[in-house]
Homo-oligomer: A and B are copies of this chain.
Amino acid sequence: MELDKFFNPRTIAVIGASHSKGKVGHDVFSNLLKEKKKVYAVNPNAKSILGEPSYSSVLDIKADIDLAVIAIPAKLVPKALEECGQKKITAAVIISSGFAEAGNKALETETLETAKKNNIRLLGPNCLGVIVPRINMNASFFNNMPDKGGITFISQSGALGVAMLDWAIKQRLGLSAFVSMGNASDIDFADMINYFEKDNDTKAICLYMESLKDGRKFLEATKDCKKPIIVLKAGRTAAGQKAAATHTAALATEDRVYDGAFKQHRLIRVNTLYQLFEIAQYFVYGHAPKGKRGLIITNAGGPGVLASDGFEREGIEITKIDEVKEELNKVLPAQWSKNNPIDIVGDALPDRYKAVFDVLKNKRFYDFVLCILTPQTMTEPHEVAELFVKFYKETDVPCFGCFMGGDSISTAKRILRENHITNFVEPDYAAKVISKMVKK
């Protein structure tokens, strides 16, 4: 495919590679050297960089180059692109800033026109770069590599990209790709959606968006996209749009236009960065709920009430449990709630959770389970976590945890996470996130 050279290049030239630590051209080149594929340094003022020979121009490199990564002063970019064209390079990531975002629209136009004339597709300018964990490629100046996984994160803000990559690494969240859009003078969200829709590793696409230049193209791309798209669109309010205008120099479009477009093609719109990834995770593992009938199991009444409040507010159905009431009567103490939330009472040992899971496991009157636990003296949170994981694996029902507390539940939380069950810090937040999935 046309854009393959951005995400799976055999050879890369870093135009503006540098041996000065702290310079973007140094960081990008150094990051790319960590992988096995062939990387070339281009810098007329150096003979060698980080032990590799340095070329005066891409034209001096003998091998074919699939991808150029450009980190030189903005005004030199058009000339570099001319040379890329002569070298038959068709893909360039422009990391350099100093274009439209700095008031220099003419230079951005000139850059884009040079690229078009030379049959080069551009990512950027003014972007952080591209990372593809599966092939260990870091064509960016972010100095770390996330785990490989199924989420492709496309960010219009490089700075937010950095923060979220840093966080993803700490959380061991797996990514199929990270793409920083920068000014998106050529390649835009629509192009990326079209590309990653066909990428086998990508199971969910997350967008952080501030503005769209071509709404029609975006709608066309999202129209029949088979993969879930989760979007955080900043500039939802007038104040946000004003801040965004200062920041990106893009024209503000009324938020309801975006909102309508997202709804039309069933994109999942979220308000926070964490929701973006938490929701994407469930699609990656194929375990997003298929309907909105929720079942709550809890060993504590209070969190059950809070979960019910959250479910109702967010439009999740608290499904009726008539089908299993008799069976549950047999395995639960008399004080159990006789209703959904299934309150199995505070003195529950793990076996009581197990008894409920056993009753539920061949039933299909619910679309997902939220399992709440508060660490009473007699509870064994890690055992309950293991039983819940077993239930999840045996039934393939979408499962969510809400084990609440501090050190008492740390092992349980780890067990859930390792088995791809999200544990929410409290019921209200669980409702917020789950509702985004079920309303899709």
Residues of A within 8 A of B (CB): 22, 24, 27, 101-102, 141-143, 155-160, 162-164, 166-171, 208, 210, 232, 234-240, 242-244, 246-248, 271-274, 299-309, 311-313, 318, 335, 337-339, 341, 343, 346, 374-378, 404-409, 425-426, 428-429
Contacts and interface: CB of A to CB of B under 8 A. Distances in A.
A300 to B, nearest CB: 3
Nearest to A302: B157
Given A159-B376, A243-B308, A409-B166, A237 B313 contact: yes
B272 A426 contact: yes
Given A247-B343, A304-B247, A312 B210 contact: no
Contacts of A246: 301, 337-339, 343
Contacts of A313: 236-237
A374 B157 CA distance: 11
Contact of A429 (B242, B272, B428): B272
A312 B240 contact: yes
Q: Secondary structure at chain A's binding surface: helix, strand, loop or mixed? A: helix
A71 B426 CA distance: 30
Nearest to A158: B346
Nearest to A166: B405
Contact of A240 (B169, B300, B306, B377): B306
Nearest to A156: B302
Contacts of A156: 302
A428 B271 contact: yes
A166 B407 CA distance: 7
A239 B311 contact: yes
Given A159-B301, A169-B407, A407-B170, A337 B247 contact: yes
A301 B235 CA distance: 11
